[in-house]
Amino acid sequence: MVAESDYGTTALATSIPEVERVSLIREAFRLEYATLSWMVVEAGVAIGAGVVARSITLLAFGFDSLIELASAVLLIWRLTIELRRGQSFAESAERAASRIGGALLFALSAYVVAAAGWGLWTRDGQAFSWAGLVVSSAAVPVMWVLSRRKLRIAAALGSSALRVDAVESITCGWLSFAVVIGLMVQLVLGAWWVDSVTSLVIVCLLVKEGREAWRAEEGDD
């Protein structure tokens, strides 16, 4: 995983040659398409496994993946606009979409808190999910690689949009790690309360990611 200090102080890039900038943007495209492909798999498996296992944690993980999938689509569109017409044309839509994404993450957090509270109140737990364990375990190294490469390109381009997207990948990696720990505890202990407790830990990560997306509206590229 990437430490907060790795992305919190990313400096804006100085002027770079146009040819080099275009090359970096094309590399950013490849990273976003890789993110898009992985998020389709991650969301599908996590939500499907969450429904079968009645797992709040896996459902939250899956819905967060859908939000990150939408973020990747937005960034691909934004990079396309910058490549064709310059970076200023896409900034207004990017800011609006960042706020929408942040609001969705806050709404997801509220749902998780309510569902976890209900689960603890009724003492209703999840069934263990091997599919959920596999996809969340695979997400940890995938998000680590993607976030590191996105941070490098964001620093070179001086792009706050790509930097925020990298932060989302970092958060997704930590969220995946939390899911893995919760599922492993569930497998070993078989405790009914594990899913609800793990999902409350995830809320902290969802809120952090939502704040990053919301604050992106004020950022400059």
Range of the domain at 211: 17-218
- How confident is the model over 173-191, as pLDDT tens digits? 888 998 898 888 888 888 7
pLDDT band with cut points at 50, 70 and 90 for residue 209 = confident
pLDDT confidence of residue 85: 63
pLDDT bucket at 3, cuts 50 / 70 / 90:
very low
Assigned domain for 47 exists:
yes
Which pairs from 74-82 meet CB under 8 Å and 24+ separation? 74/101, 75/28, 75/32, 75/161, 75/162, 75/165, 76/29, 76/32, 76/33, 76/36, 78/161, 79/25, 79/28, 79/29, 79/32, 82/25
Q: Is position 7 within any domain? A: no
- The per-residue pLDDT for 158 is 77
11-41 pLDDT, tens digit each: 444 467 777 878 888 899 999 999 999 999 9
Decide if 118 is inside a domain.
yes
Q: Is residue 160 part of a domain?
A: yes
pLDDT at position 7 is 38
Structural domain includes residue 1 = no
> Residue 197 is encoded by which pair of tokens?
């407790």
What's the CA gap between 172 and 66, in Å, rounded? 11
- Residue 155 within a domain: yes
Is residue 5 in a domain?
A: no
Alpha helices in the chain (DSSP H): 5-8, 18-53, 56-85, 91-122, 130-157, 160-189, 194-215
* CATH classification at residue 168: 1.20.1510
110 domain residue, yes or no: yes
CA pair distance 8, 100, nearest whole angstrom: 22
C-alpha closest to that of 3 among 167, 137, 199? 167
Bigger pLDDT: 131 vs 215: 131
Determine the pLDDT at residue 97. Answer: 64
pTM recorded for the entire structure: 0.78
pLDDT value of position 70: 84
Domains identified in the chain, total number: 1
